[in-house]
Amino acid sequence: MTTRALGLAALTVLELPHHEQVTVAAQAGYSHVGLRLRPVAGQPYEYPVDLPAIKARLADTGVRVLDVEVFRLSADTEVAQFEPVICVAAALGAAHLLVHGADADEARLTDNFARLCDLAGRYRLIANLEPMPWVDVSTIAKALAVLRRAGRANSGLLVDAIHFFRAGDRVAALPSLPGQYLHYAQFCDARRERPADMQEIIRQARSDRLMPGEGGLDLHGLLRALPGALPLSLEVPYAKPMPALERARRARESTLRLLEQS
């Protein structure tokens, strides 16, 4: 039996309105849910944030909000503009914000990340920087550099399985990461082969991941290298058509099987 909290990430069931994502999370057996309250460019589904409906569904189900996304730090970011969404995240009882670093100017990026941490801290939230191969903060090392320069206590490093392996990061390096940066991880599987084309890497990450155990990523090694009680957010945008509830259940059941084996 796993001691890890399991959350249903928004991208797994993105076709549903936020309150219905909470319902599916509860029906599929999750203790937590992640909500995408700030859409990304080109996102196929986008719903208004109905705060009363989401709060009511959380209260009815007992599901808790693990994280709110996506806070993208780019060259033209004005961190103060994030405050309304951060206020909503706090009202929903979220613990974390998910952050992308998409600015080639390291000094400006670090300054904006520090400002975001300070803003999040006023709402008792932690800002977690997620490396992705196609943005400027693409690797664990680059994320760590930003975290260390920013020097904020409420900052974190978010390891996402597919991005971790596609970026060429190594499992052997994980145990040496400062424990205070690891608050939760995102979990999925993918084809073992790293695509040569970045657009194909992006396509797989956004819409064609695999259930844990279906692909070729070293998920056993990843789990052994991460803290044993670290919460997992299951982010599995699955290409094979199936109802959202079935997709959520399969992601959780396959993760539980893999956890039992690790």
CATH architecture of the domain covering 6-261: Alpha-Beta Barrel (3.20)
Amino acid making up residue 133:
P
What pTM was computed for the model?
Answer: 0.96
3-state secondary structure 178-199: CHHHCCCEEECECCCCCCCCHH
Nearest residue to 238 (alpha-carbon basis) of 199, 212, 200, 201: 212
pLDDT tens by residue, the chain, 262 residues: 457 899 999 999 999 999 999 999 999 999 999 999 999 877 888 899 999 999 999 999 999 999 999 999 999 999 999 999 999 999 999 999 999 999 999 999 999 999 999 999 999 999 999 999 999 999 999 999 999 999 999 999 999 999 999 999 999 999 999 999 999 999 999 999 999 999 999 999 999 999 999 999 999 999 999 999 999 999 999 999 999 999 999 999 999 999 998 7
113-116's contacts with Cβ under 8 Å and 24+ in sequence apart are: 113/73, 113/146, 113/147, 113/150, 113/152, 113/155, 114/150, 114/151, 114/152, 115/79, 116/71, 116/73, 116/79, 116/82
User: How many CA atoms are closer than 13 Å to the CA of 44, on its beta-carbon side?
Assistant: 11
CA distance 259 to 173: 21
Three-state secondary structure call for residue 37: coil
